[in-house]
Amino acid sequence: MCQAVADIIRTTLGPRSMLKMLLDAGGGIVVTNDGNAILREMDLAHPAAKDLAIDATTTVDIDLGLGLRDVDIKNYIKVEKVPGGQLEDSRVLKGVMINKDVVAPGKMKRKIVNPRVILLDCPLEYKKGENQTNAELLKEEDWSLLLRIEEEYIEELCMQILKFKPDLVITEKGLSDMACHFLSKHGVSAIRRLRKTDNNRIAKACGAVIVNRPDELQEADVGIGAGLFEVKKIGDEFFAFIVECKDPKACTVLLRGASKDLLNEVERNLTDAMSVARNIIKNPKLVPGGGASELTVSATLKQKSSSVQGIEKWPYEAAAIAFEAIPRTLAQNCGVNVIRTMTALQGKVRVFAVAAIWDAYNVKAQTFKTAIEAACMLLRIDDIVSGIKKRQAPGTGQAPSKPKVETEADADSEQILPD
């Protein structure tokens, strides 16, 4: 079973790798050559193969202890996939892009240069009671009084914001029509019901501070780092761009492509590339790639086995052959003669260094450790015992067996022990 899993992943390695078409748990189709995504989507029943798949797909966070700043890709970089256009239209935005439009497109501006941005985490609407509230109105003027109280409350909230002269107000909660009226009257654009993660990224991009209550606003909370706010229509949807930021701490990668399958595959490759950059920043050590490190380790193990006598040399030889799997697979996927290529590459690690093919040292070291530990664990397993009892349908239980009557032939076949 483990060999079958390895054969599936084998053709996905190298620059001329093949794609796999998978049916995921939700019924969708995934087309990829990412080994991590393939193993994650595969439904494996054999416990040994499942254990190897878990080891292969688990990301191990290595604590280097060097005092380096951790790079959290998910909090700093967001990938937005918009079908349509060409792959060459993809770009990195010096700011944030969100799938939102202004609240009142006909009254609010969709393009502002050097905007003053205020970010809120509170609703700009009249507070509603947590429980059902009944009000008894005895006069017609009482209804007008209630409406006037609500209007004054909303106006007070808006005036607390407008005194800082913002150009753009973004809130994670609701924004009533009355608040929209007051903001648009003073030439302020507004966006409502933004996700918390997007609001945090906008704060990092333009230097604003998210405020929980309008009366707590200060001048230092206003973001002035954005160079341009603009709403554009891409395809059938509107997207708000807060870009050209000064020293942004967050950015957006806009991916364009003909289909969703292509965009998903490009996103997976981009995530791998950003993870490689993150690993290099945390531990700036490189080793020759393209199977060169595996060939060097294999040659060293073969040399070591020649100095060991008896059966103790067999583990060295077996491990040496196992380390040749990666370069052998790369050569096979490229369509060259495997035997000649493997013979010619023995001891020629310098060729890979000249070709600028490198791997991160911490990833390569962790891969070797995980592979050896998993192999040692599987070699120590002598039996597979199922701890799951099979369910039987109601009424299909095993029928009671009839009593068996011994015959003379059964008695003759028994072995009689001597006294």
Q: Which two tokens stand for residue 359?
A: 């791997």
Residue 96 phi/psi, 5-degree rounding, is -130, 140
pTM for this model (two decimals): 0.72
Average pLDDT value for the chain? 82
pLDDT-derived band at 416 (thresholds 50, 70, 90) equals: very low
CA distance 152 to 146: 10
Q: Among 8, 45, 52, which residue's Cα sits nearest to residue 381?
A: 52
Q: What sign does the dihedral 97-100-103-109 (CA atoms) show?
A: positive
Domain range 96-127+142-249, its CATH number among 3.20.20.70, 3.50.7.10, 3.40.50.2300, 3.40.720.10: 3.50.7.10
Contact by Cβ (8 Å): 361, 283: yes
Q: Which is more confident, 65 or 377? A: 377
pLDDT at 169: 96
Tell me which CATH code domain 284-380 carries: 1.10.560.10
Q: Is the pLDDT of residue 373 over 90?
A: no
Q: Is the pLDDT of residue 403 over 60?
A: no
Domain 73-91+255-282 -> CATH class: alpha beta
pLDDT at 411: 47
Pairing between β-strand 228-234 and β-strand 237-243 as defined by DSSP bridges: antiparallel
Outline which parts of the chain fall under CATH 3.30.260.10: 73-91+255-282
Contact by Cβ (8 Å): 253, 139: no
Mean predicted confidence (pLDDT) in 107-122: 94
Q: How many CB atoms lie within 10 A of CB 225?
A: 19
pLDDT, tens digit, 9 for 90 and up, residues 160-192: 999 999 999 999 999 999 999 999 999 999 999
Mean predicted confidence (pLDDT) in 371-388: 81
Outline which parts of the chain fall under CATH 1.10.560.10: 284-380
Range picked from 10-14, 111-115, 298-302 for highest mean pLDDT: 111-115
Contact by Cβ (8 Å): 119, 161: no
Q: Which amino acid belongs to residue 211?
A: V
Outline which parts of the chain fall under CATH 3.50.7.10: 96-127+142-249
pLDDT, tens digit, 9 for 90 and up, residues 44-96: 766 666 666 555 555 434 433 334 444 566 678 899 999 988 889 999 999 99
